[in-house]
Amino acid sequence: MPRLRRFAPPRERAYGTLAGLALGDAMGMPTQTMSRAEITKRYGDVKGPVASVDDQPLAPRQPAGRITDDTEQAVLVARLLIESGGSIAPQALADALVIWQDSMIERGSKDLLGPSTTAALTALRSGVPWTESGRGGTTNGAAMRIAPVGIVRRPGAELWERVRETTWLTHGTNLGLAGAYAVAAAVSGGIEGADPYEAVIEGIAAAHFGAERGVWVAGADIAARFDALAPLARRMTDDAFATFAYQVVGTSVQSQESLVTAFLLVDRYADEPFKALTTAASLGGDTDTIGAIAGAVLGACWGPSAFPEADIQLVESVNQLDLRGLSSDLFDLRS
């Protein structure tokens, strides 16, 4: 286990946010969309980044440490924030997402835009304004890429506005906004000095806030589900918790499942952050997104010492990422 530093400087916690997001994503890459039983059969216990099997549904034959769309889109958002000085015009985000997907198709990737973002961009091309294009977006695509906004903005009105402008385009529903607000608030709070338990509280409070501001669609409330399920989850053994997360909480791309599972992981493994990522990678379902969100929040609270340095270096090397430089540029906007 890495040696944890509770009082890492805020700039280090910004780096920890992106490092945790990318590592959690990369560890979930080989197991994404697979069942829990199939993961155990093909990989055994996932203890770190591993290469994907030849018949992985979305990312076959990828090397250990390869990221997915979660990190790629978070990096895209980060670069747009840096270029624009801390805010993102919705149309600029739409254009960047289209260019990103085209590049993924050229590379032969199957890991493309999720259903809500795809539907929103299709609507935009048909002339629907961005204020209406995200009316059906209920999945976790906005939440998985929102962490850079939490780095750039401190808790408060500016954070809420930046989350809204980055989310409404594709996920303008109560569920989509609640998930994005939750992750951004937890990350921002962690960088301010919150421990993981406090960051979870801030994130769930923000989910309440976000759920009141989107276009209402039927679906269980993220914050209410967490509040109801967390007391049960805390009393379980690790094996029972993993089964509970997989069978009861849910690990699908729907925000009210994957977001709640990610926050339960942060709450449970607040002092064992790397275990949160190994557990996420082994759950089944949307393992890469669940790991990315849990990793971003825990990294914001602990800094990069939350995770094995060699694994972070592997992810940065395999994907040619400068996460420290990127996070530093984001943090400069916060300062």
Q: For residue 110, name the pLDDT band (cuts at 50, 70, 90).
A: low
How many whole angstroms separate alpha carbon 246 and alpha carbon 282?
10
- Buried b / exposed e over 181-193, threshold 16 CB at 10 Å, is bbbbbbbbbbbbe
Percent of the chain with pLDDT over 70: 96
Task: Give pLDDT tens digits for 229-257.
Answer: 999 999 999 999 999 999 999 999 999 99
Q: In 10 A of CB 131, how many CB atoms?
A: 11
Q: Which domain holds residue 118?
A: 10-334
pLDDT surpassing 90 at residue 119: no
Distances (CA, A) of 335 to 80, 92, 152, 192, 243: 18, 24, 8, 11, 42
pLDDT surpassing 70 at residue 2: no
pLDDT surpassing 80 at residue 111: no
Asked if residue 95 is part of any domain, the answer here is yes
Asked if residue 281 is part of any domain, the answer here is yes
Task: Give pLDDT tens digits for 121-158.
Answer: 888 888 888 888 888 889 999 999 999 999 999 999 99
Asked if residue 5 is part of any domain, the answer here is no
CA end-to-end span of the chain, whole Å? 32
pLDDT surpassing 80 at residue 289: yes
Token pair for 310 = 């060699």
Encoded amino acid at 35, one letter: S
Q: For residue 1, name the pLDDT band (cuts at 50, 70, 90).
A: very low
Number of domains forming the structure of the chain: 1
Instruction: Tell me the pLDDT of the chain averaged across its residues.
Output: 92
> Which CATH number do you get for residue 179?
1.10.4080.10
Nearest residue to 263 via CA among 329, 309, 200: 200
pLDDT surpassing 70 at residue 335: no
Task: Give pLDDT tens digits for 299-334.
Answer: 999 999 999 999 999 999 999 999 999 999 999 999
Task: Give pLDDT tens digits for 30-44.
Answer: 999 999 999 999 999
Q: For residue 112, name the pLDDT band (cuts at 50, 70, 90).
A: low
| pLDDT value for 109 | 65
How many whole angstroms separate alpha carbon 49 and alpha carbon 317?
13
Asked if residue 4 is part of any domain, the answer here is no
Asked if residue 2 is part of any domain, the answer here is no
Nearest residue to 231 via CA among 268, 199, 205: 268
Token pair for 51 = 């290469």
At which residue do the structure tokens 């954070």 appear? 159
Asked if residue 3 is part of any domain, the answer here is no
Q: Calculate mean pLDDT across residues 267-273.
A: 97
Asked if residue 51 is part of any domain, the answer here is yes
Is 0.75 topped by the overall pTM?
yes
Lowest mean pLDDT among 20-29, 73-82, 102-111: 102-111
Residues written for the chain: 335
